[in-house]
């Protein structure tokens, strides 16, 4: 099988959840002896850095990158409000990338063209003009839902109106595009159901995020050192919104009940107001060089998301390392969890405090959740299992 993988940011270096998800799929293709070629968009936020890409990956994928300026342009953004185009999507279209794609498709034939996220769908017209390959959309999220939830959670009236317009534009675009591909690999069952509700009549399969467990060494938790932590890119709006809510609304309540606890915060592009925050017992580490090393220092991962969609990669990675996760229901969406067996769910300040009280009532609970979390990842989210399922889906679509 020969696959062309089109990425909206470079899979390597794998510096955030989206990069990790794409990189793991590519590695899975290569491990299964699939011929995969990678074309990627390079941006200011995610530059194409050949010197930071594994040499074997470079050679086998023949990866190429084209710079696209996806930075927010206020004039274009407001112009699109008038035209009803989705600015979130259109800013990923580049004539230079389009030319490179056209040239490649004229020179080579592929059986599958794999689009990483909705952001690569502006190139569908070019693909259909130059290729007979089946096109699969790898859906990381239903994008409109993120903006819809952000709109619902904000109290600023002008911002709420603007975000709802963006959400509606995205929803219309997603509804139009889903039947122009030949299949959808959604990251969660919930997303698959929502695509069907939007009128999708193409084959849909759930392909969750997977990890290579050999890269995540399980270590038994130290129940006497149960500090809290969060790690995530702070230039992603749902992360920033969630941490602002947790630090302002939830952490003071936790401190009243557990004044000895410390909350460790890490992530890329930490805003200055968060770096300067003087909240009691919150330690801001900024960007850390190796995320797994940071995660292994602490016991309890906090995922306070209020407006995300799709599936949180950091939760799966935390579970793989045997960390205890306390997440909102939205944060844990897409994961086949059992509350208080392999994760704890809390949706308001009171529930976060109660989750910690329950954990600390019995010292065996912390280690029990830890072991069960690792077991869940082993049984459902191993990379070999995930990639085998995706390859089988490709074969079905090709029939």
In tens, the pLDDT along 90-119 reads 888 999 999 999 999 999 999 999 999 888
Q: pLDDT-based confidence at 225, cuts 50/70/90?
A: low
SS3 333: coil
Range list of H helices, 178-277: 189-197, 237-245, 251-257, 272-275
Answer whether residue 15 shows pLDDT above 90.
no
CATH superfamily placement of domain 214-380: Glycogen Phosphorylase B; (3.40.50.2000)
Q: Which regions of the chain does DSSP assign to beta strands (E)?
A: 2-7, 35-42, 64-67, 112-116, 134-139, 183-186, 204-206, 228-231, 263-266, 282-286, 300-303, 324-327, 344-345
CATH topology agreement for domains 2-210+383-398 and 214-380: yes
pLDDT tens for 129-188 read 999 999 999 988 767 667 677 777 777 887 787 778 778 888 888 888 999 999 999 988
Determine the Cα–Cα distance for residues 81 and 84; give it in Å rounded to an integer. Answer: 5
Q: If you average pLDDT over residues 237-257, what whole number do you get?
A: 93
Q: What is the CATH number of domain 2-210+383-398?
A: 3.40.50.2000
Query: Where in the chain are the domains?
Result: 2-210+383-398, 214-380
- Provide the pLDDT confidence category of residue 79 given band limits of 50, 70 and 90: very low
Residue 211 is given by DSSP the state B
Q: What is the pLDDT of residue 309?
A: 66
Range name among 131-135, 198-202, 222-226, 336-340 with the lowest pLDDT average: 222-226
Q: What is the mean pLDDT of the chain?
A: 88
Which residue reads 């059992």 in tokens? 338
pLDDT in tens, 350-399: 999 999 999 999 988 999 999 999 999 999 998 888 888 999 999 999 98
């Amino acid at each position: 099988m020969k696959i062309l993988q089109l990425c909206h940011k470079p899979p390597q270096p794998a510096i955030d959840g989206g990069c990790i998800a794409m990189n793991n799929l590519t590695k899975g293709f290569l491990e299964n002896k699939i011929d995969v070629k990678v074309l990627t968009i390079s941006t200011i936020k995610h530059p194409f850095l050949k010197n930071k890409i594994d040499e074997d990956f470079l050679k086998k994928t023949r990866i190429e990158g084209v710079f696209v300026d996806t930075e927010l342009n206020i004039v274009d953004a407001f112009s699109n409000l008038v035209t009803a185009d989705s600015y979130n999507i259109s800013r990923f279209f580049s004539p230079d990338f389009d030319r490179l794609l056209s040239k490649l498709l004229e020179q080579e034939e592929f059986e599958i063209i794999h689009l990483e996220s909705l952001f690569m769908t502006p190139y569908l017209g070019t693909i259909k003009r130059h290729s007979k390959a089946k096109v699969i959309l790898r859906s990381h999220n239903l994008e409109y839902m993120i903006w819809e939830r952000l709109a619902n959670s904000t109290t600023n009236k002008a911002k709420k109106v603007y975000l709802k317009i963006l959400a509606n534009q995205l929803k219309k675009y997603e509804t139009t595009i889903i039947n122009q591909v030949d299949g959808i690999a959604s990251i969660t069952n919930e997303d698959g159901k929502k695509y069907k509700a939007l009128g999708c009549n193409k084959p849909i399969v759930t392909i969750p995020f997977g990890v290579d467990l050999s890269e995540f060494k399980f270590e038994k938790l130290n129940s006497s050192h149960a500090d809290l932590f969060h790690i995530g890119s702070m230039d992603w709006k749902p992360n920033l919104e969630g941490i602002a809510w947790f630090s302002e609304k939830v952490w003071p309540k936790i401190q009243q009940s557990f004044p000895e606890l410390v909350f460790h915060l890490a992530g890329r592009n930490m805003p200055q107001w968060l770096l300067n925050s003087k909240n009691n017992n919150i330690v801001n580490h900024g960007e850390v060089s190796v995320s797994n090393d940071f995660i292994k220092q602490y016991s309890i991962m906090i995922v306070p998301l209020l407006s995300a969609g799709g599936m949180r990669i950091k939760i799966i990675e935390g579970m793989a390392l045997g960390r205890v996760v306390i997440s909102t229901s939205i944060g844990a969406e897409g994961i086949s969890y059992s509350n208080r067996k392999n994760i704890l769910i809390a949706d308001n300040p009171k529930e976060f405090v109660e989750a910690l009280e329950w954990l600390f009532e019995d010292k065996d609970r912390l280690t029990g959740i830890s072991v069960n979390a690792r077991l869940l990842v082993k049984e459902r989210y191993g990379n070999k299992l995930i990639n085998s399922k995706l390859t089988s889906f490709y074969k079905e679509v090709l029939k």
